[in-house]
């Protein structure tokens, strides 16, 4: 059985859930799917993964490495290559409040910055500080999940925040200023799909079907993005309209479908792990073979 977090009101998995696509496709290989709770990020899903209530999740290389520092029960089985088209909407940024005197990363010395611990926000902040010539200890990293960080940023408890995914356009729409994007940095942290090792080893066909469905629907969303927004609800806190809706539609048009991970993707793992190890986030750099699950070719 595949155990997935609730996909919310948008995206390929929300569309798949509404139309029962995974249920139908998985039945062909003798598998089922169970939809679980709502989690704001990869790191917020950690306890659910460890308890077994979620066994497939999406995120980035960085939080997967953070997770693996305390356990070896998941592996990355899929990678999504970076969108390089300059016309594509930005998906993250280091932001400060509209009225902040900070105009450059260098001016964050002595200030508090919200990031997700051992995740993409912390990775990108370390790269930005390095480029600005600041040592990590010159900035106070405040470890918060996305919901907590949004609240802390709005109430002035932190001076800056590396906002990611939906949090980024939402905070910018409220007037936040962007100091730097990941596109401005030597970012090697790609989006990934990971799963518990026992699922990958015992039911590889179920994982293959899952990835095939996500790939197909991501490709469909490039040309029909409207179908993949406000999937369940057209009104309410999870529904989008106006400029925010248009931005998400634009992201879907540029989004690349995920692909199976290969041994060559170990180069990305090494680069991200090297940054985390250099600055003490990870006690040691992992062996990429312990992180990547490469699907064997069908005979």
DSSP state of 89: P
Distance CA 176, CA 98 (A): 5
Q: Of 1.20.1740.10, 3.40.50.2000, 3.40.190.10, 3.40.50.1820, which CATH number belongs to 2-82+189-290?
A: 3.40.190.10
- Where exactly are the structural domains of the chain? 2-82+189-290, 92-184
pLDDT category at 290 given cuts 50, 70, 90 is very high
Residue 191's beta-bridge partner residues?
Answer: 60, 80
What digits encode the pLDDT tens for the residues 153-184? Answer: 999 999 999 999 889 999 999 999 999 999 99
What is the average pLDDT score of the chain?
Answer: 95
Q: Tell me if 2-82+189-290 shares its fold with 92-184.
A: yes
Sequence-separated (6 or more) residues with CB below 8 Å from residue 264:
none
Q: Judge whether residue 296 has pLDDT over 80.
A: no
Least Cα distance to 58 among 4, 113, 112 occurs for 4
Distance CA 149, CA 183 (A): 22
Thinking of the domain 92-184, which architecture would CATH place it in?
3-Layer(aba) Sandwich (3.40)
What digits encode the pLDDT tens for the residues 75-93? Answer: 999 999 999 999 999 999 9
The token pair at 11 is 């995206």
What digits encode the pLDDT tens for the residues 237-257? Answer: 999 999 999 999 999 999 999
Contact of 272 with 281, CB cutoff 8 Å: no
Distance CA 271, CA 113 (A): 23
The whole-number pLDDT of residue 299 equals 41
DSSP state of 170: H
Contact of 54 with 48, CB cutoff 8 Å: yes
């Amino acid at each position: 059985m595949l155990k997935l977090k609730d996909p919310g009101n948008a995206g390929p998995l929300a569309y798949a859930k509404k139309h029962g696509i995974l249920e139908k496709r998985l039945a062909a290989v003798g598998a089922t799917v169970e939809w679980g709770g709502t989690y704001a990020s990869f790191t917020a899903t950690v306890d659910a993964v460890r308890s077994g209530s979620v066994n497939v999740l999406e995120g980035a290389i960085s939080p997967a490495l953070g997770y693996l520092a305390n356990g070896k029960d998941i592996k990355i089985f899929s990678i999504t290559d970076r969108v390089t088209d300059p016309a594509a909407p930005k998906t993250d940024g280091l932001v400060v409040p509209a009225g902040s005197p900070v105009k450059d990363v260098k001016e964050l010395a002595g200030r508090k910055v919200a990031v997700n611990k051992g995740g993409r926000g912390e990775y990108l902040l370390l790269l930005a500080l390095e480029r600005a010539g600041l040592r990590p200890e010159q900035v106070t990293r405040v470890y918060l999940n996305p919901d907590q960080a949004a609240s802390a940023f709005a109430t002035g408890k932190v001076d800056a925040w590396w906002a990611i995914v939906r949090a980024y356009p939402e905070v910018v729409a409220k007037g936040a200023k962007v100091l730097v994007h990941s596109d401005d940095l030597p970012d090697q942290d790609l989006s990934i799909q990971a799963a518990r090792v026992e699922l990958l080893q015992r039911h590889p066909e179920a994982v293959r079907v899952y990835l095939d469905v996500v790939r197909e629907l991501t490709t469909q969303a490039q040309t029909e993005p409207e179908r993949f927004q406000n999937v369940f609800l057209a009104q309410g806190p999870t529904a989008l309209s106006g400029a925010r809706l248009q931005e998400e539609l634009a992201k879907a048009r540029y989004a690349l479908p995920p692909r199976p991970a290969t041994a060559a993707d170990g180069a990305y793992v090494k680069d991200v792990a090297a940054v985390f190890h250099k600055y003490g986030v990870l006690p040691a750099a992992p062996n990429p073979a312990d992180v990547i699950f490469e699907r064997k070719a069908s005979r």
